[in-house]
Amino acid sequence: MNPNSILLLAAALSACCLTTVGVRGAEAPPHRWPQFRGPGGNAIAESQSIPIAFGPDKNLRWKKELPIGQSSPCIWGDRIFVSGHVGTTLKMICLRRSDGTILWERERTTPRLPTYEHVAGDPANSTPATDGQRVVFQFDDFGVVVLDLAGEMVWEKPLPSTGNTYSYGASPVLDDGQLYLNRDGGKDSSLVCLDAATGRERWMASRPNKIVSFCTPYVWSHGGTKQILAGGTGQLEAYDARTGDSVWRVTGLPIFICPSPAAADDMVFFGGWTTAHVTGSARIESIFDENSGISPGAMKDPAALLAQFDANKDGKLTAEEMPRSRARDAFNFTDKNRDGFLDLAELTAAFTQPGAPSGRNVLLGIAPGGGKGDLTQTQVRWETTRGLPYVSSPLVHRGRLYLVKNGGFLSCLDARTGKALYESERLGVAGEYYATPVAVGEHLLICAQRGTAFVVRAGDTLEILARNEIGEALSATPAVVDGTLYLRGERHLWAFGR
C-alpha cells in the first residue's frame, strides 16, 4: 500500500473511533473541507459537534507554528493544506491532520511584495482548494500552482496582477473538473474557467470596467442547471458553468465588495457594506469603533482629530499614534503621499471624500427562478440595509440568515422573508470580523479578529454559549472535520477537539 493510501486509511479508522456529542442520526462525519467555506462553499458542518469551550489550555489537540498568511485550512482525508509566505518566498504546506506534522512544503518566489493599503493585505490570503486528486494554490501577483496530494507538480500558470492594493482575497473554486477564478480589476478583468487537470482555458467571461473585489465564485445548482455566481462593482452576475455565457444579473449592490454569495434552496443572498458609500462624519464613525476613544468633536472635525491623537505635537500622525481601529489598519490608504504620516490635508480629504456615484450598502434576498437578463426589478424578494457585513460572508442555515457586522454585532433574519429575528445584537468584542461564521450542528462559530472565538446557539434569539480567547489574531474562516475545529491564527494552526 502506498503512503497516500495509508494516510487516508488512518484518517478513516480514527474517524470510526471518534466519539462526539451532538451528532445527529447515524450519518458518518465527513472527512473533507475542500475549499473556502468548506463543502459547497456553504460554511456548514451540519452533523458534527465541537467543544463549546476551547483554547490554549482547553480541548487542544495540537497546534503548529505557520508562516504569515490568512488563508483558511483546506482539508482532504488526513491532509491539511495551507499557504503562507516568508518575505518574498511563497509557501505551500501540507500537514497531517491527526497531529499537525508537516508532510511536505513547497515554495515559489515573487520579485517583491506590494505596499498594501491595509494591514490585512497579504500574498497568501487565498484559501487553497482540492478535489482529492490535486490541490490549487493561488498567490497575489504570482498566479496559480497546482500540486498533487503528495506535493508533486501538476501544472502552474502565471497570471497578470489584478492591481488590488488590498491584496488578492478571492479563493479558487474546484467543481466537476473545472477551476474557477475571480480576476476582477486587472487588465484581463474576468471570471475564468480552467481545466483542473491541465490548466487549459475552457472559457473566460469578460467583466470589463470591474474594479477589484474579494468575492470568491460560488457554484449554484438549481433546476437541473449549474451556474457560477460572481459579485463585484455593484452587481451579482450568474454565468452558465458549461459555456461562461451570462444568464442573469442583479444590480444596485455595493461597488466594492468583500463577502461572497450564499444560497439555499431556490434563493441567493448577496451584498454587504463598504466605506465607498458613506461620507463625512459617517465615514469617520465607521473607521473608529466605540472603543477607540475618539472624542465627539474629533468625529466631526479633522483638526480636532489631529489634535487629539498627535502625541508628540508635530502636526501629523503616525500609525502608532492612531488608536486601534480600522483607520489604523488602513493607514496606508489615507497616507496618499506614502511619507508615513497623516497631515491635516490628508485627514480633511478623508472627511470630505465623496461617496461612490453608483451602488449602495445593501444585502438582497434573490429568487432567480429561471429568469434571464436583469432581474433587479422582478426577482429580488427582500432587502436589508442594517447589520451589514464588511468582509465576513453571510451564512444561511436551517432557514435563517446570519450576518456579522464589524464592531461585534450579529443579526439573524428569516431567509425566506428577510424579517429580522434579531438585529445587531452585541457579541461583546469590538474591532474587525473577517472570518465567515460557520454552522456546526446546533451551534455557530464566530471569530473576532482580536482573538476571540464565540460559540453561539443557532436560533431565533442570541444566546452566547462560550467566549474562547485564543491569544492571537483570527482572520481566517475556520474548518470543521470529524468533530475537530481547525483554526488558523496569526501565528499558528490550532486543532481543538474532545
pLDDT in tens, 446-495: 999 999 999 999 999 999 999 999 999 999 999 999 999 999 999 999 99
CATH number at residue 307: 1.10.238
DSSP state of 112: -
Q: Are residues 208 and 124 in the same domain?
A: yes
Residue that has been written with the C-alpha cell 474562547 in this structure:
468
Pick the closest to residue 69 from 92, 85, 88 (CA basis): 85
Q: Given the DSSP bridges, would you call strands 32-33 and 235-240 parallel, antiparallel or unpaired?
A: unpaired
286 band by pLDDT with thresholds 50, 70 and 90: confident
Q: Which cell numbers hold the place of 439?
A: 454552522
- Across the range 28-46, mean pLDDT stands at 88
pLDDT of residue 169: 87
Contacts 24+ apart (CB under 8 A), 26-32: 29/481, 29/482, 29/483, 30/481, 30/482, 31/75, 31/76, 31/77, 31/78, 31/481, 31/482, 32/75, 32/76, 32/77, 32/132, 32/481
2-6, 75-79, 159-163, 364-368: the lowest-pLDDT one:
2-6
Q: Given the DSSP bridges, would you call strands 246-251 and 373-374 parallel, antiparallel or unpaired?
A: parallel
Beta bridge partners of 420: 413
| Secondary structure percentages of the chain, helix, strand, coil, to 5 | 10, 35, 50
Q: Are residues 319 and 468 in the same domain?
A: no
Instruction: State the total domains in the chain.
Output: 2
Is residue 2 assigned to a domain?
A: no
Q: Are residues 92 and 50 in the same domain?
A: yes
Q: Are residues 86 and 211 in the same domain?
A: yes
10 Å Cβ neighbour count for 244?
Answer: 19
pLDDT digits (tens, 9 = 90+) for 373-411: 999 999 999 999 999 999 999 999 999 999 999 999 999
Q: Are residues 35 and 156 in the same domain?
A: yes
Is residue 183 assigned to a domain?
A: yes
CA distance 491 to 488: 8
Q: Which residue has the higher pLDDT, 200 or 290?
A: 200
CA distance 231 to 347: 31
Query: Is a pLDDT exceeding 50 seen at residue 348?
Result: yes
Residue that has been written with the C-alpha cell 471624500 in this structure:
353
Is residue 7 assigned to a domain?
A: no
Q: Are residues 236 and 289 in the same domain?
A: no
DSSP state of 247: E
Is residue 5 assigned to a domain?
A: no
Maximum CA pair distance of the chain? 71
6 band by pLDDT with thresholds 50, 70 and 90: very low
Is residue 4 assigned to a domain?
A: no
Q: Which cell numbers hold the place of 442?
A: 446546533
Is residue 414 assigned to a domain?
A: yes
pLDDT digits (tens, 9 = 90+) for 86-124: 999 999 999 999 999 999 999 999 888 888 888 888 889
Query: Is a pLDDT exceeding 90 seen at residue 24?
Result: no
**Residue 276 DSSP SS3:** helix
**Residue 100 DSSP SS3:** coil
Q: Is the dihedral of CA 60, 66, 72, 77 positive or negative?
A: negative
Query: Is a pLDDT exceeding 80 seen at residue 2?
Result: no
Q: Which cell numbers hold the place of 209?
A: 470596467
Q: Are residues 402 and 487 in the same domain?
A: yes
Q: Are residues 390 and 291 in the same domain?
A: no
Element (H, E) at 4: helix 3-17
CA distance 215 to 234: 12
Q: Are residues 302 and 323 in the same domain?
A: yes
Q: Are residues 263 and 298 in the same domain?
A: no
Domain boundary among 352, 377, 404: 352
Residue that has been written with the C-alpha cell 444560497 in this structure:
263
Is residue 208 assigned to a domain?
A: yes
**Residue 108 DSSP SS3:** strand
Is residue 39 assigned to a domain?
A: yes
Give the type of residue at 225.
T
CATH number at residue 52: 2.130.10.10
pLDDT digits (tens, 9 = 90+) for 125-182: 999 999 999 999 999 889 999 999 999 999 999 998 888 888 888 999 999 999 999 9
Q: Could you tell me if 143 and 158 are in contact, meaning their C-beta atoms sit under 8 angstroms apart?
A: yes
Q: Which cell numbers hold the place of 387?
A: 447589520
Q: Are residues 374 and 342 in the same domain?
A: no
Beta bridge partners of 144: 138, 157
Give the type of residue at 297.
G
Query: Is a pLDDT exceeding 60 seen at residue 69?
Result: yes
Which residue range forms the structural domain that includes residue 294? 279-352
The CA-CA-CA angle for residues 365, 370, 375, to 5°, reads 50
Domain boundary among 303, 329, 352: 352
Q: Are residues 341 and 486 in the same domain?
A: no
Domain boundary among 318, 352, 386: 352
**Residue 453 DSSP SS3:** strand
Pick the closest to residue 388 from 366, 367, 413, 368 (CA basis): 413
**Residue 39 DSSP SS3:** helix
The CA-CA-CA angle for residues 276, 437, 33, to 5°, reads 115
DSSP state of 293: -
